[in-house]
Amino acid sequence: MQPEGFDDALGASYRLLDRLGEGASGEVWRAVDKRTDEIVATKLLRREHLADRDLVGRFVQERSVLTTLRHPAVVAVRDLVVEGERLAIVMEHVDGGSLRDVLRERGTLTPALAVDVAAAVLEGLASAHQRDVVHRDVKPDNVLLTRDWESGEPGSVKLVDFGIARIITDRQRTATGLLGTPEYMSPELLTRGTAESPADVYGVGIMLYELLAGRTPFAGPGNEYTIAHRHVTAEPPPLDVPAPLAAQLEALLEKDPTRRPSAAAAAVALRGARAAVAGTPALAPQAGPEDFDTARGPSTVVRGLTPETPAAPSGTDDEPGTPTDLGAPGQQTIVRPMQRRTVVEEDDDAPAAPARRAAVPGWKDPKLIGVVAAALVLLVGAVLFVTLTGGEDDASTENPTPEVPAAGPAEAEQPSQLQAASGLGLERAAAWDPETEQVQLTLTYSADRAPLMGPVLEVLANPDGNCPTDVDWDVPQEPNIVSTTSIDAPCAWALDVGTIQPGQTVQLQATFTLPLEVDEGGDASTALQEWLAGVDETTTTALTDPGLSAAVDSYPAQRLLGISVDVPSSTFIERVVPVTVYPEWPSGTGTVAIFATGSSGDPNSVLAAVAGGTDGVSLSSSCAPSVVVTAAGLVSALSQVEDCTVGVELGNLPETASAPFAVAFRDS
């Protein structure tokens, strides 16, 4: 209920209905968008935040980022309202409550449900991390659920408050030190005072543990500092769950942030462990341990080398004595003195070394005299043989030693087998120098009807797995990182091709050592051609792997197969029809939208790579004038119609139609 005299207007477009709850940063209200009659949720931030001009300015600056985060596992931010004494974030409304509500009711979840929830949150985080947005407050309270969330369908689990925690905590950390929930703090936040994307992955690990155990791993006796400090010094108590899930949980809770998987890789790994926990019952809520095991780090203890028999301690701190025993550390560093060479002093009483035998002149050495005599005998015999045979050498004339022709330069060409839907073309050419065994590989990329961007993948390995190690590229590049791209291939490179304009080409070159087998004619062309075909095969196999998660969107210019167009099944006249476009990968429909009508800000990375941005998207309607595409790029329903579709043409891809939808009158 609204208090008496309460102003329910929020800006010019929204009206507050009723309060849903209260959090650390403000109140959450259910509201209605007066332009569309849609129910939305709004978070009214506390007045102390509004009084901070810097904080308000940062919200306004980051509005374009927050409002363009589009992922099924992220609660979409629709608008930001700054009016009078109100600073409000307008979001989509999720009607199933929070994950915290479920935990209060059930205590724990089955491993299968816990994995589904954690993987969905990780997929949402991966989408945000691509845009350099870090959440910093991942916990069950910030995970909202739809009513059918147990189905595991995309969009049934949603992470809320993206970016809000970061903006507020950055401001408050400067003045008051670390800010956060102690049970969910990452170790690096305590040891370094900073937390980036790996901290979000750690937060999912803490949350997954809590879903399984009914408690966070480091909760226990002590004050907030004690609980927070356990993230650095203690190991989480083990849980009785299947080994594949235990391994993934350990990876998420790794103390060293550089050793944690990325959010995308962790989501893929968790989805892979799902089959191993299907049917496993939920654990009973776990009691806290009496004590925590010491972690492997990060403490460093410096010890001196002490004798096996302990010596008596020194009398005072100022006097040298035996080092004090510091206990058994989790991982100790021992400082050892350098070994010194033993110097043996001369002893007058020691027996003298035996005297050396006098040297014999070289020309009197019996061995030398024997060698010279043998050489003279052989020389005389050779002269007599030549004289008697007349100098003819029939054997050498009749059976000459065949000469092996020297290897010559080799060249080969190989068009790519990969038929990229984006219009990306690739021709490979290689030239081999037999003297240096160096090959120069030339890659020529082209674009068809739309501008294309990298990075692109090239695997310099045969199917047998052999790959060169001294590769020198003439373009910016880096080795393919499995934890980032989820593509695991030997000797794989991520190459920066810049922007390839339609009808133009871009050439890249690499030089490296490549030993090749030469045939009897001294030709290495066949071996070079086979190697080049093998490179094409391994690269194509890596890019078209159907086993990768649909959440993986690496190398879109090469991997994108098509798009799917999502619209509501029905709408009313005078409404804007929301159109959302998802990518089609070798493994299925992607989970991250690459285009949505009405969105602003920077384009999605996939859209930028395959179409040059939103300018490369065109919309059409099959039922104009009942449904039309406006000059602003919106699809507007103007009159009643039973069966209508929206077509989307994106970059080089052919037009793809949505499922049919109907437009009705409001009172029908």
Say if residues 273 and 245 touch (Cβ distance below 8 Å).
yes
What is the DSSP pairing of strand 641-644 with strand 661-664?
A: antiparallel
Residue 394 pLDDT > 60? no
Q: Count of alpha carbons within 13 Å of 11, Cβ hemisphere only?
A: 17
Res 297: pLDDT: 43
Q: Which of 33, 37, 132, 137 is catalytic?
A: 137
Res 52: pLDDT: 65
Q: What fold is seen in the domain 99-277?
A: Transferase(Phosphotransferase); domain 1 (1.10.510)
β-partners of residue 576 are 636
Say if residues 185 and 137 touch (Cβ distance below 8 Å).
no
Rounded distance between C-alpha atoms, residue 610 and residue 502, angstroms? 11
Mean pLDDT on 424-437 = 92
Mean pLDDT over the full length of the chain: 78
Q: Which is more confidently placed, 603 or 529? A: 529
Enumerate the domain spans of the chain.
9-92, 99-277, 410-543, 560-664
Q: What fold is seen in the domain 560-664?
A: Immunoglobulin-like (2.60.40)
Res 225: pLDDT: 73
**Cis omega before residue 182 (within 30°)?**
no
Q: Which of 96-100, 293-297, 513-517 has the lowest mean pLDDT?
A: 293-297
Q: How confident is the model at residue 238 (pLDDT cuts 50, 70, 90)?
A: very high
DSSP 8-class letter at 98: B
Q: Which of 55, 58, 39, 36 is nearest to 47 (CA)?
A: 55
Rounded distance between C-alpha atoms, residue 540 and residue 450, angstroms? 22
Mean pLDDT on 265-270 = 90
What is the DSSP pairing of strand 302-303 with strand 333-334?
A: parallel
Burial class (CB in 10 A: 0-12, 13-18, 19+), 578: middle
Q: Determine the straight-line distance between the first and last CA of the chain, rounded to whole angstroms.
A: 31
Let me know if domain 9-92 sits in CATH 3.40.718.10: no
For helices 243-252 and 197-213, angle between their N-to-C axes, nearest 10 degrees: 140
Active site (annotated) includes residue 7: no
Residue 153 pLDDT > 80? yes
Res 376: pLDDT: 55
Say if residues 15 and 9 touch (Cβ distance below 8 Å).
yes
Res 381: pLDDT: 59
Rounded distance between C-alpha atoms, residue 582 and residue 557, angstroms? 15
Res 143: pLDDT: 95
Q: In this structure, how many other beta carbons lie within 10 angstroms of the beta carbon of residue 5?
A: 5
Q: Which is more confidently placed, 117 or 326? A: 117
Res 632: pLDDT: 78
Rounded distance between C-alpha atoms, residue 629 and residue 181, angstroms? 47
pTM tops 0.75: no
Residue 383 pLDDT > 70? no
Mean pLDDT on 344-364 = 41
Alpha-carbon Rg of the chain, whole angstroms? 36
Q: How confident is the model at residue 379 (pLDDT cuts 50, 70, 90)?
A: low
Mean pLDDT on 146-170 = 78
Rounded distance between C-alpha atoms, residue 210 and residue 294, angstroms? 20
Residue 295 pLDDT > 60? yes
Mean pLDDT on 287-297 = 73
Say if residues 649 and 618 touch (Cβ distance below 8 Å).
yes
Say if residues 664 and 640 touch (Cβ distance below 8 Å).
yes
Q: What fold is seen in the domain 410-543?
A: Immunoglobulin-like (2.60.40)
Report which listed range, 129-133, 461-465, 541-545, is most confident: 541-545
Same topology, domains 9-92 and 99-277? Answer is no
**Cis omega before residue 660 (within 30°)?**
no
Q: Distances from the Cα of 446 to the Cαs of 8, 200, 417, 557, 652, in angstroms?
A: 57, 38, 14, 11, 12
Task: Say which amino acid occupies 54.
Answer: D
Q: How confident is the model at residue 560 (pLDDT cuts 50, 70, 90)?
A: very high
Residue 410 pLDDT > 70? yes
Res 420: pLDDT: 92
Say if residues 646 and 634 touch (Cβ distance below 8 Å).
no
Question: Cα 297–301–302 angle (5° rounding)?
Answer: 145
Res 310: pLDDT: 39
Say if residues 627 and 642 touch (Cβ distance below 8 Å).
no
Mean pLDDT on 636-646 = 92
Report the percentage of the chain scoring pLDDT > 70.
Answer: 74
Residue 196 pLDDT > 50? yes
Q: How confident is the model at residue 39 (pLDDT cuts 50, 70, 90)?
A: very high
Q: Which of 322-331, 467-476, 507-516 has the lowest mean pLDDT?
A: 322-331
Query: What DSSP string describes 369-433?
Result: HHHHHHHHHHHHHHHHHHHHHTT--HHHHHSPPPPPPPP--EEEEEE-S---TT--EEEEEEEEE
Res 598: pLDDT: 78
Res 373: pLDDT: 55
User: Strand, helix or coil at 307?
Assistant: coil
Q: How confident is the model at residue 220 (pLDDT cuts 50, 70, 90)?
A: confident
Kindly give the residue spans of alpha helices, DSSP state H, lying in 417-509.
Answer: 482-485
Q: Which of 34-38, 162-166, 424-428 has the lowest mean pLDDT?
A: 162-166
Residue 72 pLDDT > 70? yes
